[in-house]
Every structure is written in structure tokens, then in C-alpha cells.
């Protein structure tokens, strides 16, 4: 963390997945769900401005490399006590993400999902609603 005056800046590891299939991995300090752009610093590069409207989602990850041996799962663990409503997101490219959402409202341009897969490299995902085909709330927890 860095401090600027009274404000703490938190560096987050992110993977930005674009609707066209491109991917950018790096660090961000300025992602805000209510802003239309933010910056990612890729290793050894200058900050790159990212337009949220071009994204499928922003994935806040534990590790930028991920675990290539991990098979993604969309199964809810009955012992999982993650707060929020269960949600199923079908993206326009056919990918399905299931998890818990603390803040989904159909009137917002995006929302957060905590993956159902407890072994996922992603801690949380910000989903661009415009990149989705269908969003289904499964129930409440």
C-alpha cells in the first residue's frame, strides 16, 4: 500500500478480459466500479488505460499466472458461507460463471461476483453487464 496524504492506495493484481478475447494482466490502483476507465500496469510497461465498456470483466486474482492445472468448477459447496445471492452469468461468448453477488442490480452497468469455485485463482470478478447474454439469480444465502 502507498499513502498519498490521507488516502491509502491499494495495488491489486488483475486480469482484464476483453469482449474480443484479448487479455491484459497486471496491477491496478484506480479501478472503481462506478468509473468508465482505469489503468493497468503490465510488468515492465507504462500504465495502460482500460475502457470498462470494452471488457467482459475484471478479475481480481491471487496470482497473475494462475494455476494451469486447475479445472474450473461452477459447483456451489454446501459448506461455503460466502455472503450474497447465488448468481449464474452467461456471457455472450458462451462462458458461464457461477458465484455469489453482493451487489447485483439490473439497472447497474456492472456488478461483482465471488466465484463458487473456492479454488479459483480469482478472489472476485467485476462483470460488465453489457458482455452478458443472461444473468440468473439462483437464490439467497
In terms of pTM, does the model score above 0.85?
yes
Cα–Cα dist 102/24, whole Å: 26
CATH code assigned at 34: 2.30.30.100
Q: Confidence class of residue 78 from pLDDT cuts 50, 70 and 90?
A: confident
Cα–Cα dist 91/125, whole Å: 13
Q: How many separate domains does the chain show? A: 2
Domain assignment of residue 32, yes or no: yes
Q: Which of 46, 61, 76 is the last residue of a domain?
A: 61
Return the pLDDT at 7.
60
- pLDDT tens sequence across 48-73: 999 999 999 999 999 988 777 778 88
Domain holding 96, by residue range, is 85-140
Mark whether 89 and 41 lie in a shared domain.
Answer: no
Domain assignment of residue 9, yes or no: yes
Mark whether 102 and 136 lie in a shared domain.
Answer: yes
Mark whether 13 and 54 lie in a shared domain.
Answer: yes
State how far the alpha carbon of 107 is from the alpha carbons of 23, 104, 111, in Å.
Answer: 27, 9, 10
CATH code assigned at 129: 2.30.30
- pLDDT tens sequence across 86-102: 999 999 999 999 999 98
Domain assignment of residue 17, yes or no: yes
Q: Confidence class of residue 6 from pLDDT cuts 50, 70 and 90?
A: low
Q: Confidence class of residue 39 from pLDDT cuts 50, 70 and 90?
A: very high
Domain assignment of residue 70, yes or no: no
Amino acid at each position: 500500500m502507498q499513502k498519498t496524504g490521507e488516502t491509502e492506495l491499494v495495488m491489486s493484481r488483475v486480469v482484464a478480459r476483453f469482449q474480443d478475447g484479448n487479455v491484459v494482466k497486471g496491477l491496478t490502483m484506480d479501478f472503481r466500479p462506478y468509473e468508465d476507465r482505469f489503468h493497468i500496469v503490465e510488468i515492465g510497461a507504462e500504465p495502460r488505460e482500460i475502457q470498462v465498456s470494452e471488457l467482459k470483466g475484471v478479475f481480481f486474482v491471487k496470482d497473475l499466472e494462475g494455476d494451469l492445472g486447475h479445472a474450473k468448477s461452477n459447483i456451489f459447496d454446501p459448506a461455503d458461507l460466502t455472503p450474497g445471492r447465488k448468481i449464474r452469468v452467461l456471457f455472450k461468448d458462451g462462458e458461464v460463471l457461477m458465484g455469489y453477488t453482493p451487489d447485483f442490480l439490473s439497472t447497474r452497468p456492472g456488478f461483482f461476483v465471488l466465484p463458487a469455485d473456492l479454488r479459483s485463482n480469482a478472489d472476485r470478478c467485476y462483470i460488465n453487464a453489457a458482455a452478458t447474454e443472461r444473468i440468473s439469480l439462483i437464490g439467497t444465502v
